[in-house]
Amino acid sequence: MSTTPENGHFFSHRIFESVFLCVFFRYALLFDCISFIEKFRKMNHSGSFFGLCLLLLNGVFGAGTDEEKSVSVMEGDSVTLNTDITEVQSKDQILWMFGPQETRIAEIHKQNIDMFDSNVTFGDRIQIDSQTGSLTIRNIRSEHTGLYKLQIFSSRGTSHKRFNVTVYARLPFPVITSNSSNCSSSSSRCSLVCSVLNVSQVTLSWYAGFSVLSSISVCDLSISLSLPLEIQCLDDSYSCVVSYSFSNRTTHLNDPELCHTCPVAQRSSFMMVIAVTLALLAAIAVVVGAMCHGRCKHSGEKVKSRDEEVNYAVPTFCALQRTDIIAANHTVYSTIVT
């Protein structure tokens, strides 16, 4: 069919409507809209409305949602970005991209794997699973922080995922030292301080068992944190913890040399209290045992005396008196007098 001004106006009007509908449906992606317009322009006048419906169904409902996940990982660890696909089909296309430029780093197309130039940024650290299409990054570094995009093209439609990966520096173990500036020989308390160096976006906390005694958080880059603590005496229940939201490092307070001049008197009095308590408990146990033994002995004597007071009746039998025998089968019984 030849193109006339009326037909051109009709097609322009229809193209405008199609673009408006694509924007209205938020699940339609931009490149699907462009493809939709190109296909629509090739349609003839009579089939335009029917083609419009089919393309809208394919473009809006055939595309998957563009979901984003946040992933946190420590430097040097491995992380796997999952496609949630059980098995890649023969005609499926799995495409991984990285960074604001959406650089292609891995692809599975018709069961062929292409790693592009990923070794420039990642070396030999990345690997794509041929069965599921999932991407694994081994020994990850801070420069691998960024946005990873996944596109899945299959007979079931098109789906998109985004992974916002943040790589954190490895956590150091907290160091517990004696705060000698606050410790004196006359004091009965022990002053300690827990420190970590060159950390960011962490929380430093003192714990007694599972209870938080004190904590401090920081969001600045590469600073040092210190958190003081005063206790009565050294105890294995105390610990210092530095943590991200997904990982932590713990140092337990079990060094008897820490601030050893402060808790000496406290430990002596503490041991004395324990010794006195144990002695009292032993004395109570002896008294209670003696009382129980006396009660049991007295109860046994009562039972014995009662057994001796029991009198038993002895039955007395009387001799049979002479009676006349009425018949040969007649039996006469005598009575028993007790």
C-alpha distances (whole Å) from 37 to each of 18, 202, 229 are: 7, 50, 69
Q: Under a CB-based contact definition with an 8 Å cutoff, are residues 191 and 179 in contact?
A: yes
Please calculate the CA angle 99-101-104 and round it to the nearest 5 degrees: 75
pTM of the model: 0.56
Is the pLDDT at 36 greater than 90? The verdict is no
Structure confidence at residue 225 as a pLDDT band (50, 70, 90): very high
Residues of the chain with pLDDT > 90: what percent? 43
169 closest CA partner among 226, 240, 244: 244
Domain 66-168 is classified in which CATH homologous superfamily? Immunoglobulins (2.60.40.10)
Beta strands in the chain (DSSP E): 63-74, 79-81, 93-98, 103-109, 112-114, 126-128, 135-137, 146-154, 157-168, 175-178, 190-199, 202-208, 211-218, 223-231, 238-243, 248-252, 316-317, 336-337
Q: Please give the residue that has the higher pLDDT: either 84 or 300.
A: 84
Rounded Cα–Cα distance for residues 101 and 148 (Å): 11
Q: What is the pLDDT of residues 155-198, one digit of tens each?
A: 889 999 999 999 999 999 999 998 866 655 556 678 899 999 98
The pLDDT value recorded for residue 263 is 40
Strand, coil or helix: 124: coil
The pLDDT value recorded for residue 203 is 96
Q: What is the pLDDT of residues 37-62, one digit of tens each?
A: 455 444 444 344 444 444 444 444 44
- Helix (H) / strand (E) element for 269: namely helix 264-308
Least confident span in 17-21, 65-69, 76-80, 89-93: 17-21
The pLDDT value recorded for residue 250 is 96
CB neighbourhood size of 20 (10 A):
9
Q: Please give the residue that has the higher pLDDT: either 272 or 241.
A: 241
Average pLDDT score over residue span 229-241: 87
Strands 175-178 and 135-137: unpaired
The pLDDT value recorded for residue 234 is 78
Average pLDDT score over residue span 195-208: 94
The pLDDT value recorded for residue 52 is 43
Rounded Cα–Cα distance for residues 271 and 261 (Å): 16
178-214: burial string, b at 16+ Cβ within 10 Å, e else: bbeebbeeebeebbbbbbbeebeebbbbbbeeeeeee
> Is the domain 175-262 a CATH 3.40.1410.10 member?
no
Q: Please give the residue that has the higher pLDDT: either 318 or 197.
A: 197
Rounded Cα–Cα distance for residues 300 and 307 (Å): 11
Rounded Cα–Cα distance for residues 83 and 159 (Å): 10
Rounded Cα–Cα distance for residues 162 and 96 (Å): 10
**Chain mean pLDDT for the chain:** 73
Is the pLDDT at 13 greater than 70? The verdict is no
Rounded Cα–Cα distance for residues 199 and 226 (Å): 11
| 137's tokens | 């990054």
Rounded Cα–Cα distance for residues 302 and 294 (Å): 13
**Alpha-carbon dihedral angle through residues 197, 202, 206, 211, given to the nearest 10 degrees:** -170
